[in-house]
Amino acid sequence: MAMASEVRNAVLVVALTLAAGAVLVKLLAFLRTVLWEPLRLKRIMQRQGVGGPPFRFLIGSLPEAAAYGQTFPEALPLGDDFSDFSPTVTPQYSLYFPKYGKRFLYWWGPETRLVVREPEMVKRVLDGVKTGGDFERSFAEKLITSLLVGKGVHFLHGKKWAIDRQTLNPFFHQEALKGMIQAMANAAASEIHKWEQMVAQAGGSLDYDVETAVHTISGKVISYTAFGYDSYETGKQLYELQNQYLEVLYAACRGLTFWIPGYRSLPTKQNKLMTELDAKINGLVHKLVDTRRDAVKQKQMSSYGNDLLGRMLAAACDGDDDAALEFNLASVFNNAKLFYFAGQDTVAHTLNFALMMLSRYPKWQDLAREEILSVIGDEEDFNSNKLSRLKVVEMVLNEVMRLFPVAPTLTRVAKRDTHLEDLFIPKGLSLELAVQAMHRDPKYWGEDVGKFNPGRFANGVSKACTPPQAFVPFSYGPKNCIAINFAMVEMKIVLSMVLRRFQLLQSPNYKHHPQFGVVQRPKYGVHIIIKAL
């Protein structure tokens, strides 16, 4: 008995020693990530003359930047000068660029970021295939986006990215888009007809917050073209849940505990809410996918269909393994989750800012309307040829995306030691590409950079700025936004239908306060006076 007790004690001591050793190894690895590595990167960049705010353990510079952004009024002055860096969207730029020059180092939580706004550096970082893949998405960006919209094509790299991109490309090709134009117009018409009824009931003029309505249009467009006419209600629920999840996620990632390994698995109130919302989101995506699959199995449909979901299912094999290289059911699920949110959010917010700016600049509103009536005519007979001739409308959209890019920052991390222009970039350093600042830099756009002037795009992007890489509203390079053409067609159709029917006037109820949450968006809606023509 005594010997058995000694053996048990010895085993217990060994087990406790091993457990303590494992905990120590993890602790040291954690400290290496959040303390030693940031300080190492800071020393390397300081030796090259790159300054920045003081290092703060784990929380980084986020609290200081956020506090600075909150010093600005809820209703920002909206004059004719847009030369600032939108302190409520990217407060780190307004705070640190004036102090530290054209480049600075700061910390997004534990992640060390070098902020740059030089077009050639942006081009080099984003042109991943041609540069041998020196940069990839940063840990923080991958974590946030994967939690919100899954592991679709935006998340992938290497062969798996190439397979997904190649599978999805045909849906977004110009030829495929020709067949979606009428569906887009139908999606917009049902909502804009409601505007007509409300304006008529109000006596011909109505002060109206268009933000939600524009999201409804964009939601219907993505449903009708990509997931089937009967998918809208499911898609609407999905988008609402993703927005709720976004609010909770961004509140969580601003806290210290979010970045501690293992904390997100603890049953805290916040974590339980995120798990619950995520389960509901995934359930709705599975419903969309399974309903289409079941319809084919039960021979209610002869094929999966020619929309995005149908094309993905036709391309998918039976496997569900995320790690598999082929395009499989997991690929269908992840990309459906991505496109329902990203495909709706980016277009809707650009359209909202466009409507707001047109209400402020009647000259450009009138020019756009004249072009629409001339090219499209009194009847809304849209086709790809007519839409391609809407040059003024395209100029307006480009100028809106210059001033209010949906992605005001892009972040990539160095996969290996490399050189970028005159800088040595050590492995593990994140490059934050300051799109918002670059779009408003007089060095590339001229002294009228702060003016709303769509005319700068009269001869195309290549003549609007020098160099043309200073304009990256859809990112750049092989991993640019896959849906560029889709988005431009949708936005041209919606603006054409609105401007044919209504005059847009400034509303005294509009509060200008753009903010950032995955994309740039208005905080207090978009109040506009809509007057029937």
Annotated binding site for heme: 481
The phi and psi torsions of 412 (rounded to 5 degrees) equal -135, 150
Return d(Cα 194, Cα 277) in angstroms, integer: 31
Confirm if 115 and 106 have CB atoms less than 8 A apart. yes
Q: 384 to each of 111, 370, 387, 389, 496, how far by Cα in Å? A: 45, 19, 5, 9, 13
Confirm if 417 and 392 have CB atoms less than 8 A apart. no
Closest CA to 109 of 159, 64, 152, 68: 64
Return d(Cα 374, Cα 464) in angstroms, integer: 25
Q: In what order do the strands lie in the sheet with 205-209?
A: 205-209, 527-532, 502-506
Q: Which tokens sit at 207?
A: 């002060």
Q: Which tokens sit at 299?
A: 């021979």
- Per the DSSP assignment, residues forming a β-bridge with 420 are 423
Annotated binding site: 481
Q: What is the 3-state secondary structure of 106-171?
A: EEECCEEEEEECCHHHHHHHHCCCCCCCCEEECHHHHHHHHHHHCCCCCCCCHHHHHHHHHHHHHH
- Angle at Cα 436 formed by Cα 395 and Cα 497, nearest 5°? 35
Confirm if 488 and 495 have CB atoms less than 8 A apart. no
Confirm if 138 and 114 have CB atoms less than 8 A apart. no
Q: Which tokens sit at 519?
A: 């994309």
- Angle at Cα 402 formed by Cα 161 and Cα 82, nearest 5°? 145
Contacts of 172 (CB under 8 A, 6+ apart): 482, 483, 484, 485, 486
Helical segments of 361-390, H only = 362-375, 384-388
The phi and psi torsions of 179 (rounded to 5 degrees) equal -80, -5
